[in-house]
Amino acid sequence: MELNNKVAVITGGDSGIGFASARLFLEAGAEVVIMSNNPETLGVARSQLGPEVVAIEADVTNTQALGAAFAEVGRRFGRIDVLFASAGVVSPTPLENTSSELFERILRINVAGSFYTVQAALPYLRSGSSVILIGSVVATMGIAGFGAYAASKAGLSGMARALASELTPQGIRVNTLVPGPTRTPIWSTLAHTEKDLQELEKSLIRSIPIGRLNDAEEVAQAALFLASDRSSSIQAAEIVIDGGASRAPQGAPAYRV
């Protein structure tokens, strides 16, 4: 199997894309560690994934907690072959009424949290390891009212290239997944009822050429590719998974008569 003898750590591994990746990585033969800041959802995820999965609580903005969490991974496994920093948050931040606390929270979790995660994992990464970060098409699409999230994901893409240059001499690859809208619990922060969610999805679909959102598993398949040695010459790349929305928007339903 593709990830036999590999140890994979996934932040945000208790939900959405991180959870779907944990499931795929397990099926591919990896030892899987999931991390998040929420002990309840971590426990639920572990019971769904199986007892062989290690679940460790750590807030990615807390460098001490991250240090302790990765030290625990080091004690158990001695190394990390795949690091997938999937933890992240989204929120609208319209200019009129966004607090500095909210703006900075989004940047702290999405950008600084990913940086601290790689930093804490570094002592356990070795030549041949793969680091996977997660951006978003929102970085480049100019979505009104999402300035902080767009800044965080654009920043993350730039940071990924810097980290790739920094870690290449150690034989470590750093690549970025760039998903479009993907069906995960993150949308509950933008649509509070099932009806709102359906309305939001309907309006999003108009600008997605394939006519639907991604499933989390479709993004996880790209993560599996980057995690495996099949992507061994891919360095500092971005894999866009958005049904064509950002690169071939004219194929979208909104442009059809």
Binding site for ligand NAP (CB under 6 A): 11-12, 14-18, 36-38, 41, 59-61, 86-90, 109, 113, 134, 136, 179, 181-182, 184-186
* Residue 193 Cβ vs ligand NAP, minimum distance, rounded to whole Å: 17
* Residue 17 Cβ vs ligand NAP, minimum distance, rounded to whole Å: 4
Q: Does the annotation count 195 as an active-site position?
A: no
User: Do 106 and 148 form a contact (C-beta atoms < 8 A)?
Assistant: yes
Nearer to ligand NAP, 1 or 248 (CB): 248
* Residue 205 Cβ vs ligand NAP, minimum distance, rounded to whole Å: 13
Q: Which of 116, 124, 153, 195 is catalytic?
A: 153
Q: Which of 6, 149, 202, 255 is catalytic?
A: 149
Position 163, amino acid: L
Nearer to ligand NAP, 124 or 187 (CB): 187
Contacts of 63 (CB under 8 A, 6+ apart): 116, 119, 120
Nearer to ligand NAP, 87 or 172 (CB): 87
Q: How far apart are CA 225 and CA 203, in angstroms?
A: 31
Nearer to ligand NAP, 14 or 81 (CB): 14
* Residue 202 Cβ vs ligand NAP, minimum distance, rounded to whole Å: 15
Q: Does the annotation count 6 as an active-site position?
A: no
Q: Which residues are catalytic?
A: 149, 153
